[in-house]
Amino acid sequence: MKAMVLKHPAPIETSPLELCEVSLPEPAAGEIRVRVEACGICRTDLHVIEAELPPQRADLIPGHQVVGVVDACGPGSQRFAAGTRVGIAWLRSTCGVCPYCRDGRENLCPNARFTGYHANGGYAEYAVVREDFAYTVSPNLTPAEATPLLCAGIIGFRALRRAEVRPGCRLGLYGFGSSAHIAIQVALHWGCTVYVMTRGEQHQQLARDMGAAWAGAAEAIPPDRLDSAILFAPAGELVLPALAALDQGGTLALAGIYLSDVPALNYERHLFHEKNLRSVTANTRQDGEDLLRVAAEIPIRPHTTLFSLADANRALQQLKGDGIQGSGVLVPGRG
């Protein structure tokens, strides 16, 4: 099969992913093999490729927003019939026995493994995954539309929860990439007033077009105090203006797996009056199931830009330069 392989981490500007012919993966006991129809690209992929996350293995196939059709089932696999459309997400496996797993917080499992990081992902024509970590994908979405829900969507949904977003509240979104443009649809569905702070007039205009009450520059001060805020951009310096924009008792959630250093905080301005600062670490499978259910209710319609598998380097270069509106998606077989 064809796959885009990372042999050595390097800046994406050097086009480190190589189009290779690799062996077709065989599903082990309890696993399924998926013929990939589409795989979303993500800033986490950039963090892996550029070694901002510590490298875990050689000759890695990245990608963790995978949608495709079950092609083969390993011994004992019975959850999905051949031909079923499923999704593969970032969280690939957990131990199931640690205190976090037993307490419903499997996203904190110290033995968790992740797709496109510890194991090969979806920048390929086929991928394998444990059947109990795969998701059923609604037939009402195209494969490309479904891909960003599997990471950007799930993390955005967990971030909404971590930020204590309530129906009707005033919510600020810092950064307006793939995850934020899904989160805003959920927030508006809940009756929230949404303010977006992000780089680039194109992103600001997309936010307005999608229903934001106001959109401005990344460090701009929104016109109203915020009850909740989510930082999607991997820019630690934005923590300060986001905390300063919160109303008393407000909560800021940091949604990225990577964040540049946060400058020194001023206690009175940034944290006093019971403001809360929280991180977001991966997701549980329940987060994924809940997001996919809400997505079908709304329904969420992600904005996507399609690329061929061979164009993965170019797609990620555009992502790094904020050149993609919504979500970039790789489509194997696309010319």
CB 89 within 8 A of CB 135: yes
Helix (H, G, I), strand (E, B) or coil at 211: coil
What pLDDT, in 10s, does the model give residues 141-171?
899 999 999 999 999 999 999 999 999 999 9
Q: Do strands 85-88 and 134-136 pair parallel, antiparallel, or not at all (unpaired)?
A: antiparallel
What pLDDT, in 10s, does the model give residues 277-323?
999 999 999 999 999 999 988 999 888 999 999 999 999 999 999 88
- What is the spatial distance between Cα 193 and Cα 197, in angstroms, rounded to a whole number? 14
Q: Does residue 335 have a pLDDT over 70?
A: no
CATH 3.40.630.30 fits 154-279, yes or no: no
Verify cis geometry, omega within 30 degrees of 0, for the bond prior to 11: no
Q: Report domain 2-150+283-331's class.
A: alpha beta
- What is the spatial distance between Cα 56 and Cα 120, in angstroms, rounded to a whole number? 11
Looking at residue 32, what is its pLDDT? Answer: 98
Asked if 2-150+283-331 and 154-279 have one fold, the answer is no
Domain ranges of the chain: 2-150+283-331, 154-279
Q: Does residue 101 have a pLDDT over 80?
A: yes
Looking at residue 308, what is its pLDDT? Answer: 97
What pLDDT, in 10s, does the model give residues 178-225?
899 999 999 999 999 999 999 999 999 999 999 999 999 999 999 999
Contacts of 318 (CB under 8 A, 6+ apart): 324, 328
The residue ranges of DSSP E strands in the chain, in sequence order, are 2-6, 17-21, 31-40, 65-73, 85-88, 91-93, 113-114, 126-130, 134-136, 170-174, 193-197, 214-216, 226-231, 246-254, 276-279, 304-308, 327-331
pTM of the model as a whole: 0.88
- What is the spatial distance between Cα 176 and Cα 270, in angstroms, rounded to a whole number? 23
